[in-house]
Amino acid sequence: MNASGDELAPEVRAILDAARERPGGDTRVSVDARSFPDAVAETAADGRVPVITEVKPTSPTTDGVRDDDPVELAREMVAGGATALSVLTEPDHFGGSTESLQRIREAVDVPVLRKDFVLREEQLDVVESDLVLLIARFVGDDLPDLVEAARKRGFQPLVEVHTRDELVAALAAGADVVGINNRDLGKLEVDLATFEELAPEVPDDVLLVAESGVKTPDDVRRMRNAGADALLVGTAIMDGDVRQNTESLTTST
């Protein structure tokens, strides 16, 4: 299984072409990661909804670029109750950077996810983070090796899936943090029913994250009722006052 034969939206094809060209690091990183499961448990014990808020300056499906200081945005998200942060490091289509991630991780004490399109082991070595995203659809048969390589460096891999086959592959690779992406990266269409369909097939000991398309408190409740331990939200947080937006979703019980 790999991305090359898939039907992909042109924007996603361009993202993958750029990711293939991006170099890796020279030296293997070693991370002392902040525990994501502990952060989720603490938020839930507080009676709030665990939300990973995303510092997402732009994207192929967003109009314009939000060019505020990413560290300020991150601090506001944490003040609003974010359990963890997702930081885009993809530079060409999402306005992200490894420098932003480094600065944000220094400025906050919550776990930080590196959001990028990692395809090869050496691409894990460009920056430290607490979690790293591995997209099952794009890494294909390399998923088990990349999960192991990520863990050897101290990262907590968040394995993203969109289909039943990808979920089976993620579980076979030993993923214990799984994100079900409601966005079909082939067509860039979003449907919250994706999470509802796949979530019942995820074992209880896997930490389950609902990704993409969550905009309102009703969406939060819908994903939580379907079994989400945590949510990953980008666009709806970045649109306006990020602190207020974060507060609104983390208190939607």
Known catalytic membership, residue 99? no
Q: Residue 138: which of 173, 103, 166 has the closest Cα? A: 166
- 76 an active-site residue? no
Q: Does residue 233 belong to the site contacting ligand LARABZUK (CB under 6 A)? A: yes
Does the protein bind ligand LARABZUK through residue 185 (CB under 6 A)? yes
152 is catalytic: no
CB of 13 to ligand LARABZUK, least distance (A): 10
Q: How far is the CB of 80 from ligand LARABZUK (least distance, A)?
A: 15
- Segment near ligand LARABZUK (CB under 6 A); pick from 33-41, 105-113, 208-216, 244-252: 208-216
181 is catalytic: yes
- Contacts for 62-66 with beta carbons within 8 Å, 24 or more apart? 62/235, 62/238, 65/95, 66/95, 66/238
The site string for ligand LARABZUK over 21-60 (x = CB under 6 A, - otherwise) reads ---------------------------------x-x--xx
Q: Where are the alpha helices (DSSP H) in the chain?
A: 10-21, 36-45, 70-79, 91-94, 98-107, 136-139, 143-152, 164-172, 193-198, 217-225, 235-238, 242-250
Residue in the structure block whose two tokens are 């991305």: 3
| Residue selected from 97, 102, 163, 235 as contacting ligand LARABZUK according to rule CB under 6 A | 235
Contact 213, 241 (CB under 8 A): no
For position 100 contacting ligand LARABZUK by CB under 6 A, the verdict is no
